Amino acid sequence: MSLLLLLALWQAAPAPRPASPAAAIRQTLHAQVAAWNRGDINAFMQGYWRSPQTEFVGANGITRGWAATRAHYRASYPNRAAMGHLTFSQLEIEPLCAGAAYVTGFFRLTRAHDSPHGVFTLLFRHFPEGWRIVSDHTTAAP
């Protein structure tokens, strides 16, 4: 009988509230920074929509597709020294609708001999697996 009571109470309990879009997006970005700082580009890429339509825009042009974006990161950051320590700051998250948001912020890589930094704009969309970057425009400061 106690098992039935426990089951009834479990079913009556309210479901946990989903995180706000801004909180979920911040969580995705925090996970990306953590992955980068441990040298894990594959985990970093989990923040991107795994699609041929994903795009990365940077100084070298437009890279289309999740796999091509991952290849770009691997070529540009072949080892931990090149990756450095990543930080994001001044994040601003603007919901566009229930399933999309626009994000701006600053990045900095701290490495042994330099500290590249700049700005980024990200377009996030919500998918069943969570909030993912569908478009990333990153520009390094001169």
Domain extents for the chain? 19-140
Q: Which CATH class is domain 19-140?
A: alpha beta
pTM of the model: 0.85
Write out the chain's pLDDT in tens, 142 residues.
Answer: 444 444 444 444 444 445 799 999 999 999 999 999 999 999 999 999 999 999 999 998 999 999 999 999 999 999 999 999 999 999 999 999 999 999 999 999 999 999 999 999 999 999 999 999 999 999 999 8
Spatial neighbors of 134 by CB under 8 A, at least 6 apart, are 48, 49, 51, 53, 54, 55, 123, 124, 125
Task: For residue 133, give the H/E element and its range.
Answer: strand 130-140
Backbone angles phi, psi at 95, to 5 degrees: -65, 135
Using an 8 Å Cβ cutoff, are 101 and 131 in contact?
A: yes
Q: Please give the Cα distance from 127 to 82 (Å, whole number).
A: 32
